[in-house]
Amino acid sequence: MASSPKLNSKIPEGTLENKWTKYRSTVHLVNPANKRSLEVIVVGSGLAGASAAATLAEMGYKVKVLCFQDSPRRAHSIAAQGGVNAAKNYQNDGDSIYRLFYDTIKGGDYRAREANVHRLAEVSGNIIDQCVAQGVPFAREYGGTLSNRSFGGTQVQRTFYAAGQTGQQLLLGAYSALQRQVGMGAVTLLARHEMMDVVNIDGKCRGIIARDLISGKLERHFGHAVLLCTGGYGNVFYLSTNAMGSNATAVWKAHKKGAFFGNPCYTQIHPTCIPVSGDHQSKLTLMSESLRNDGRIWVPKKAGDTRNPNAIPEEERDYYLERRYPAFGNLVPRDVASRAAKERCDAGFGVGSSKMAVYLDFAANTERYGKIQANKLGLHNPSKDEIIRLGKEVIKEKYGNLFDMYKQITGEDPYELPMRIYPAVHYTMGGLWVDYNLMTTVPGLYALGEANFSDHGANRLGASALMQGLADGYFVIPYTIGDYLSEEIRTKSIPTDNEAFAKAEAEVQERINKLMSIKGTKSVDHFHKRLGKIMWDKCGMARNKEGLTLAITEIQKLKEEFWKDVRVTGEANEFNPELEKAHRVADFIELGELMCKDALDRNESCGGHFREEYQTAEGEALRDDDNFAYVAAWEYKGEGNFELHKEELKFENIKLAQRNYA
């Protein structure tokens, strides 16, 4: 297989270990005087956006940052719980850059680019150094050194964390760095602004159209380069662990203006989330993967067992992950753990009122910690109650905020009863196709963090999203953007009365007018929920040809109905959350169709993409490396038409193998 001539990944020559070092030292530079007249627009203020914007401003570029929330600190990176990976080998457990690289490629089921992933592993250590320098309060040991824990898909402890609030602390670090630049006037901050379209001039991206969400006014912004750091598209499914506002509008608009979309069908269903409790449900809440360090997952051995979980004796419990995967046990990668939970529930062994849940049980480790603690305190022959009490204190220190959240949402106390959990949509590995420089197929238009497709293959490992967002923003784009901007130093700022800006703004205005004028009978949420149901049922944890084919027709019908019957209340020229949602849902519908087409086209199973037709005798994902070891990059060819281009994935350093966690 050869890669499409339209896709130049620009992977540097040289050995895997030297590619990045050499490239970084030879990529073109922009001198300080020229940087001052080069303008960069950053859309999104999460880990990728805030770190990129702060760093580019420190380097001297003129930066503008947009976020739809009221403050950059609210971007959804804030909600990441468990941690951030880095190959520091502080635990002396055999970790290395190569091992992080290897785990990530394998965890991604051999569908990621070797060169990108190796670079990610190389800079991972710098991220921790940078964050500590900023004052990010990571968890520490009594000796003052940093603490680590383990995550799925690895056998080392390389995850750095701050209780169950690691994303919050990392984002506040990046936000602080960003606000410092705002204070110095190097960054212009536009909060409550949403990108509505990109503006291309002579084949290059030259700016964006944005909507001021308070006044409703459309604005034109010029940039020599535009960075989309807008996160993933999990909200296509309506119910997900994403924030209510997380959306795909920026990447979808970029896609329609020429940026190819990479692997849209690769979505991650996270195994440990609080189950759906009713029709009113607006979002799903994650219980961090770090809980699988200390929690054991089980269902009763007897189908339909309705006893209180604490009354079910040990020998009548099926610890199915430990049974099926003894080497990794409860710490198998997310896709494997999610499918295993679905398998047990589908077979009738699920628990709780909906029977769509499994237990995550902390009793064994509570007791173990209690005994250790009793020894530390010099208590001889402590009673069982005393041990449990001490153990609960340890659990509380490690996961207190998560346990409190669980209790708030379910009304059950996880210190007394095992948690009930079920998989939920969490992350999208797919995203805009980018080259080694993180540039899309539109020159001058970049995608960073979850918005691009690049590093996680078909399944992301836990604690790697924070790593990738910050790697892209702090340590990759600041170098790679020079390759493009060094050629742009003669380009003067283009006045925004240029006809390309006028035309793009007119198109956006027309769409707003159309949405406001339909005055149909159904709310935006009504359509979003229906889209979510189609996607979850037919393009979720398990997919097949028949279901996907049907889903595509259903989505096309839904789209037609949306544009005839949606009701958007209020006015366009005011703060109008219904109008914001309408734009986003219209884009989700179109993206949902592409996700199904991609899933239908990929006749294999890999990572989070599980096609029921392609599985091993044990029910594991069955890849087809001869025919599908490629990145699917889709080109937009007009409404509902997409052309597939393939980027061949070459594995020169890792031998392709069936993943084995048993």
Partner 1 sequence: MSHGNMNLTLKVWKQKNKNEKGRFETYDAKGISPDMSFLEMFDVINEQLISSGKEPIAFDHDCREGICGMCSMYINGRPHGPKQGITTCQLHMRSFKDGDTIVVEPWRSAAFPVIKDLAVDRSSFDRIMAAGGFVSVNTGNAKDANNILINKDDADGAFNAAACIGCGACVAACKNASAMLFVSAKVSQLALLPQGQVERKSRVLNMVKQMDEEGFGNCTNTGACEAECPKGISLENIARMNREYLGASFT
Nearer to partner 1 by Cβ, of 179 and 437: the residue is: 179
User: For residues 377-406, which are near partner 1 according to CB under 8 A?
Assistant: 404-405
Within 8 A by CB and 6+ apart from 482, the residues are 27, 28, 29, 30
Q: Which residues of 491-513 are buried (b: 16+ CB within 10 A; e: fewer)?
A: beebebebebbeebbeebeeebe
Of the candidates 7, 177, 591, 599, which one interacts with partner 1 according to CB under 8 A?
177
Residues 467, 469, 470, 471, Cα dihedral to 10°: 70
User: For residues 293-352, which are near partner 1 according to CB under 8 A?
Assistant: none
Written as six digits, the tokens of 17 are: 């270990």
3-state secondary structure of 281: coil
User: For residues 217-276, which are near partner 1 according to CB under 8 A?
Assistant: 243-245
CA 412 to chain centre: 29
User: For residues 94-133, which are near partner 1 according to CB under 8 A?
Assistant: 126, 128-133
Nearer to partner 1 by Cβ, of 70 and 560: the residue is: 70
162 contributes a contact to partner 1 by CB under 8 A: yes
79 contributes a contact to partner 1 by CB under 8 A: yes
User: For residues 579-608, which are near partner 1 according to CB under 8 A?
Assistant: none
58 contributes a contact to partner 1 by CB under 8 A: yes
At 91, which amino acid appears? Q
168 contributes a contact to partner 1 by CB under 8 A: yes
User: For residues 190-219, which are near partner 1 according to CB under 8 A?
Assistant: 191, 214
Work out how close the CB of 428 gets to partner 1 at its nearest, in angstroms, rounded to a whole number: 17
Residues 148, 151, 153, 156, Cα dihedral to 10°: 20
Which candidate, 172, 168, 216, 178, places its Cα nearest to that of 196? Answer: 216
Q: What is the DSSP letter of 4?
A: -
Of the candidates 74, 224, 253, 344, which one interacts with partner 1 according to CB under 8 A?
74
At 612, which amino acid appears? E
176 contributes a contact to partner 1 by CB under 8 A: yes
Nearer to partner 1 by Cβ, of 94 and 638: the residue is: 94
Of the candidates 5, 144, 313, 495, which one interacts with partner 1 according to CB under 8 A?
144
282 contributes a contact to partner 1 by CB under 8 A: yes
Of the candidates 203, 304, 348, 570, which one interacts with partner 1 according to CB under 8 A?
570
Mask of contacts with partner 1, 5-24, x by CB under 8 A?
--------------------
Nearer to partner 1 by Cβ, of 107 and 173: the residue is: 173
d(CA 383, CA 579): 61
32 contributes a contact to partner 1 by CB under 8 A: no
64 contributes a contact to partner 1 by CB under 8 A: no
Written as six digits, the tokens of 426 are: 């969490």
140 contributes a contact to partner 1 by CB under 8 A: yes
User: For residues 491-530, which are near partner 1 according to CB under 8 A?
Assistant: 521, 523, 525
Of the candidates 163, 198, 442, 552, which one interacts with partner 1 according to CB under 8 A?
163
d(CA 66, CA 447): 15
Nearer to partner 1 by Cβ, of 463 and 631: the residue is: 463
Work out how close the CB of 117 gets to partner 1 at its nearest, in angstroms, rounded to a whole number: 22
User: For residues 410-439, which are near partner 1 according to CB under 8 A?
Assistant: 411
Helices (H), 3-109: 16-26, 32-35, 47-59, 97-107
Angle between helices 166-183 and 47-59 (to 10 degrees): 30
Nearer to partner 1 by Cβ, of 578 and 601: the residue is: 578
User: For residues 525-554, which are near partner 1 according to CB under 8 A?
Assistant: 525
Stretch that binds partner 1, among 10-18, 28-36, 160-168, 359-367 (CB under 8 A): 160-168
Nearer to partner 1 by Cβ, of 138 and 661: the residue is: 138
575 contributes a contact to partner 1 by CB under 8 A: yes
Nearer to partner 1 by Cβ, of 175 and 634: the residue is: 175
Of the candidates 64, 88, 270, 398, which one interacts with partner 1 according to CB under 8 A?
88
Whether 119 is catalytic is no
Written as six digits, the tokens of 527 are: 């359509």
Work out how close the CB of 159 gets to partner 1 at its nearest, in angstroms, rounded to a whole number: 14
Of the candidates 25, 26, 33, 279, which one interacts with partner 1 according to CB under 8 A?
279
Q: Number of residues interacting with partner 1: please give it, by CB under 8 A.
A: 82
Work out how close the CB of 136 gets to partner 1 at its nearest, in angstroms, rounded to a whole number: 8
- What is the DSSP pairing of strand 431-432 with strand 358-361? unpaired
Nearer to partner 1 by Cβ, of 26 and 408: the residue is: 408
Written as six digits, the tokens of 378 are: 């010099």
Written as six digits, the tokens of 553 are: 């027709």
Q: What is the DSSP letter of 497?
A: T
69 contributes a contact to partner 1 by CB under 8 A: yes
Residue with tokens 């506040």: 172
Q: What residues pair up with 530 in beta bridges, in sequence order?
A: none
User: For residues 474-493, which are near partner 1 according to CB under 8 A?
Assistant: 474-475, 478
Q: Could you give phi then psi for residue 68, rounded to 5 degrees?
A: -80, -20
Nearer to partner 1 by Cβ, of 143 and 638: the residue is: 143
d(CA 204, CA 443): 5
Work out how close the CB of 221 gets to partner 1 at its nearest, in angstroms, rounded to a whole number: 19
Work out how close the CB of 277 gets to partner 1 at its nearest, in angstroms, rounded to a whole number: 5
- What is the DSSP pairing of strand 419-428 with strand 445-447? unpaired
Question: Which run of H or of E encompasses 62?
Answer: strand 62-66
Work out how close the CB of 399 gets to partner 1 at its nearest, in angstroms, rounded to a whole number: 14
Catalytic site residue from 24, 206, 317, 334: 334
Angle, CA of 216, 219 and 224, to the nearest 5° = 150
Of the candidates 18, 29, 141, 507, which one interacts with partner 1 according to CB under 8 A?
141
d(CA 437, CA 27): 10
* DSSP letter for each residue of 119-170: HHHHHHHHHHHHHHHHT----B-TTSPBP-B--TT-SS--EE-STT-HHHHH
Nearer to partner 1 by Cβ, of 285 and 486: the residue is: 285
Q: What residues pair up with 427 in beta bridges, in sequence order?
A: 268
d(CA 644, CA 376): 61
Written as six digits, the tokens of 201 are: 């001039």
**Which residues have a catalytic role annotated?**
334
